[in-house]
């Protein structure tokens, strides 16, 4: 499959996605049950190995907690870590331990959420929204 074929496929897939205000979660005004990517261009970077810009259903498995840690939990930890001057993974895992999460579960969750952000820009944008950006 060539460059233009991938681009055409990405465009075709993008136009089939539900329309609406980008960057908003369905329950916050959309009502369509989707999390949209704000500022998504006409070509989905997933066609070239990057994170997808396609909208993601609110009930998609990508939003499921990882070892009991939700994206909201991860964002809460990150916000608290920033406030406390924690700037490394070990510190974040220690902070998670203070919240009752084992080091193994915290490490799996941190790695898992970063991987999911690499799959979908919707996850990264939702994370930033939870952070307050």
pLDDT in tens, 107-116: 999 999 999 9
> Among 119, 75, 111, 66, which Cα is nearest to 95's?
75
- pLDDT score of 68 more than 90: yes
What are the φ/ψ torsions at residue 40 (nearest 5 degrees)?
Answer: -70, 130
Considering the domain architecture, whether residues 133 and 68 belong to the same structural domain is answered as: yes
Looking at residue 133, its pLDDT comes to 87
Looking at the structure of the chain, the number of domains it has is: 2
Query: Is 103 found in the same domain as 65?
Result: yes
Other CB atoms within 10 A of residue 82 CB: 11
Q: Residues 47, 106: one domain?
A: no
Which of 12, 28, 58 marks a domain boundary? Answer: 58
Q: Are residues 72 and 92 in the same domain?
A: yes
Same domain assignment for residues 65 and 126: yes
**In terms of pLDDT, which residue wins out, 52 or 29?**
52
Residues of the chain above pLDDT 90, percent: 53
| Residue 93, both tokens | 């895992």
The whole-number pLDDT of residue 40 equals 62
pTM: 0.69
Residue with tokens 């991860």: 74
Q: Give residue 40's domain range.
A: 3-58
Average pLDDT over residues 98-127: 95
| Length of the chain as a residue count | 133
Q: Are residues 69 and 125 in the same domain?
A: yes
Is the model's pLDDT at 42 over the cut of 60?
yes
Q: Do 67 and 12 share a structural domain?
A: no
Looking at the fold, whether 77 and 130 belong to one and the same domain comes out as: yes
Both 88 and 107 in a single domain? yes
């Amino acid at each position: 499959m060539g460059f233009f074929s991938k681009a055409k496929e990405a465009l075709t897939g993008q136009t089939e996605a539900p329309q609406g205000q980008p960057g908003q979660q369905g329950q916050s005004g959309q009502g369509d049950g989707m999390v949209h990517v704000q500022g998504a261009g006409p070509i989905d970077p997933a066609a070239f190995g990057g994170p997808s810009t396609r909208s993601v259903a609110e009930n998609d498995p990508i939003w499921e907690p990882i070892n009991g840690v939700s994206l909201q939990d991860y964002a809460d930890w990150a916000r608290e870590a920033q406030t406390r001057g924690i700037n490394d993974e070990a510190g974040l895992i220690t902070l998670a331990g203070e919240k009752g999460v084992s080091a193994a579960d915290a490490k799996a969750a941190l790695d898992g959420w970063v991987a999911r952000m690499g799959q979908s820009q919707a996850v990264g944008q939702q994370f930033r929204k939870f952070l307050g950006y």
